[in-house]
Amino acid sequence: MKFVHKTTDIHMEVDVLAENRHLADHNQERLRSMGIRSVDVMGSIGSGKTAMIIALSKILAEGGVKVAVIAGDVTGQDDYDRFKEAGIIAYNVNTGKECHLDSALIDRALGRMHLDGVGFLFIENVGNLVCPADFPLGTDHRMVVISVTEGDDMVRKHPLIFQDSDIAVLNKVDLAGYMEVDVSRVKRDYAALRPDRALLLTSVRTGEGLDQVVEAIRK
Ligand code: MG
Ligand code: ZN
């Protein structure tokens, strides 16, 4: 009986992931047909995802690009409020109990948003470094943001999400000295996983490295 139960679980999981990928393709087609570039911003709680999206949006807006954000959180609308306060078109998505966004939630959000003239969409995923990796949303880029305040072992502990993302950012590098974090060690860990990419170093507070991130997400 145990074996049968386990097999059913595995089949269910395969179906859920396949269905998610199907809807992700649908989201991608929809965004491309509207001329909207997009990035799924994943990363740990407190790594600075919201502040980074606001800072990147400012740079894009200065370049004449209209930006929208989907704010994904388990509950509440704190990030959504911050985006609205910053003058960004925003849509709030609560996942309830789920610790990640999925492409059905994004499909629904896109159907309800007013995206006329929008050139760039940020999707702020739920803060964790585990399951968002398994649920692509149909964006052009997948970006993972960590910060030095989490220590220097994040890449080693969560290799999958770094392998599945095409952009990786180490934020709050201005605090590396205080946190006694060896930035070069994080860079080495990342280079071992993605020798074709460079870990981007940023500080949203000082503005360091943000232009490089803008360059990466606009590619
Ligand atoms: Mg946030
Ligand atoms: Zn999850």
**CATH number for 34:** 3.40.50.300
- Collapse the DSSP code of 41 into the 3-class scheme (helix H, G, I; strand E, B; otherwise coil) and give the result: strand
Query: Which single residue is written with the structure tokens 């704010």?
Result: 71
User: Separation of 130 CA from ligand 2 center, angstroms?
Assistant: 7
Q: Percentage of residues in the chain with pLDDT exceeding 90?
A: 92
Domain count, the chain: 1
From the CA of 90, which ligand is nearest? Answer: 1
Please write the tens of the pLDDT for every residue from 130-163: 999 999 999 999 999 999 999 999 999 999 999 9
State how far the Cα of 23 lies from the Cα of 165, in Å rounded to an integer.
19
Q: Over range 30-42, report the average pLDDT.
A: 98
Predicted pLDDT at 169 = 98
User: Separation of 52 CA from ligand 1 center, angstroms?
Assistant: 9
Predicted pLDDT at 14 = 78
- 34 and 138 Cβ atoms separated by less than 8 Å: no
User: Separation of 59 CA from ligand 2 center, angstroms?
Assistant: 31
User: Separation of 166 CA from ligand 1 center, angstroms?
Assistant: 20
Residue span of the structural domain in which 141 resides: 2-218
Residue 3 in this model has a pLDDT that exceeds 60: no
- Ion ligand 2 — residues with CB < 5 Å: 99-100, 131
Give which of 123, 157, 127, 129 is closest to 141, Cα–Cα. 123
pTM: 0.93
User: Separation of 42 CA from ligand 2 center, angstroms?
Assistant: 12
From the CA of 100, which ligand is nearest? Answer: 2
From the CA of 125, which ligand is nearest? Answer: 1
User: Separation of 45 CA from ligand 1 center, angstroms?
Assistant: 7
Q: Over range 118-131, report the average pLDDT.
A: 97
- 53 and 83 Cβ atoms separated by less than 8 Å: yes
From the CA of 49, which ligand is nearest? Answer: 1
Q: Over range 179-183, report the average pLDDT.
A: 95
